[in-house]
Amino acid sequence: MAVTSLVMVTAPTSAETLTGSGYEAADPNQPQLRVTDLSATRGDGVFETIGVMDCHVQSLTSHLHRLAASAAILDLPGPRLDVWRAAVEHALDRADPAPELSAKLVLSRGEEGSRRCTGWVRVAPAPDMSRARADGVRVLTLDRGYRSDVAETAPWLLQGAKYTSYAVNMAALRYARRHGADDVIFISSDGAVLEGPTASVLLRIGNTLVTPGTDQSILPGTTQDRAFRYAENAGLATQARRVEAAELATAEHLWLCSSVRLCAAVRELDGRELTWDRRLTADLLSWLRTTHD
């Protein structure tokens, strides 16, 4: 067993010939990627990061379907989802068990000129999210620089795909930290709430949990989807719709949801303290940790 495990997916899409299982274990401490791979040189690929809680993979089917949807937006060949599923399970079998792990799946367009995609699954210990879960996070709202309908008006901008070029998202997080915050919520130029750099936005408004709709040029949230199932079991209504920026400050509660963090209450927004329900947040966290698919 290894603290970190790596599995290279040798037939990640329909474009490669499938021989054997379509994946093989690799040494995570040795180089595996050529410098001409397009994921490295151009960020031309898609990925998923999946939380593994107490040896249970969270929403694997949903993540695999989202990987395929992202690949379609980038005009990549269709991923072999059965191979990817088996590769994830093999990588988990090879990793040291731990209360929380992170599985990262990457599908690249591959080495330049090869017409063969590259894929891999890496399982490693998850970052410690206990403080954000227990104490909440401080958030800045930042202008994303485009309208909420950009996915329809400019599909070449790849909104709604989880692609490997995350430089803008990471720059936003660095900006927030330089200004005393922990995270970011992006706002469109026409005033709609979008998402965080690595998270979905969830609000409680009355007896309804609300999230920005995926027609607002954002990524479908797998953890947010499970939060909606929590709401339904708790007798709360759910709604995916356009959320105006002003609603963030007036909602009863506000959370960021993501696969590894699960959920974190927003306790400060643009320097203004928000109230938040610790018991409700704890119940939601328990649901997200123990409800796997």
Q: Write out 112-131 in H/E/C secondary structure.
A: CCCCCCEEEEEEEECCCCHH
CA-to-CA distance for 148 and 158, rounded, in angstroms? 13
Give the pLDDT score at 216.
80
Residues of the chain with CATH 3.30.470.10: 5-125
Whole-model pTM: value is: 0.94
Q: What is the CATH number of domain 130-290?
A: 3.20.10.10
Q: Residue 269 CB: number of other CB atoms within 10 A?
A: 19
Give the pLDDT score at 84.
98
Give the pLDDT score at 200.
96
Give the pLDDT score at 74.
95
Residue 293 confidence (pLDDT) above 80: no
Q: Which CATH number fits domain 5-125: 3.40.50.300, 3.30.470.10, 3.90.1150.10, 3.30.70.360?
A: 3.30.470.10
Average pLDDT over residues 218-242: 93
Looking at 28-37, 75-84, 257-266, 284-293, which range is the least confident one? 284-293
Q: Which residues contact 207 (CB under 8 A, 6 or more apart)?
A: 235, 236, 237
Q: Mean pLDDT score of the chain, rounded to an integer? A: 94
pLDDT tens, position by position, 79-132? 999 999 999 999 999 999 899 999 999 999 999 999 999 999 999 999 999 999
Residue 195 confidence (pLDDT) above 70: yes
Residue 1 confidence (pLDDT) above 60: no
Residues of the chain with CATH 3.20.10.10: 130-290
Q: For the chain, what is the HEC assignment?
A: CECCEEEEECCCECCCCCCCCCEEEECCCCCCCCCCEHHHHCCCEEEEEEEEECCEECCHHHHHHHHHHHHHHCCCCCECHHHHHHHHHHHHHHECCCCEEEEEEEEECCECCCCCCEEEEEEEECCCCHHHHHHCEEEEEEECCCCCCHHHHCHHHCCCCCECCCHHHHHHHHHHHHCCCCEEEEECCCCEECCCCCCEEEEEECCEEEEECHHHCCCCCHHHHHHHHHHHHCCCEEEEECCECCHHHHCCEEEEEECCCEEEEEEEECCEECCCCHHHHHHHHHHHHHCCC
CA-to-CA distance for 249 and 155, rounded, in angstroms? 31
Average pLDDT over residues 202-209: 96
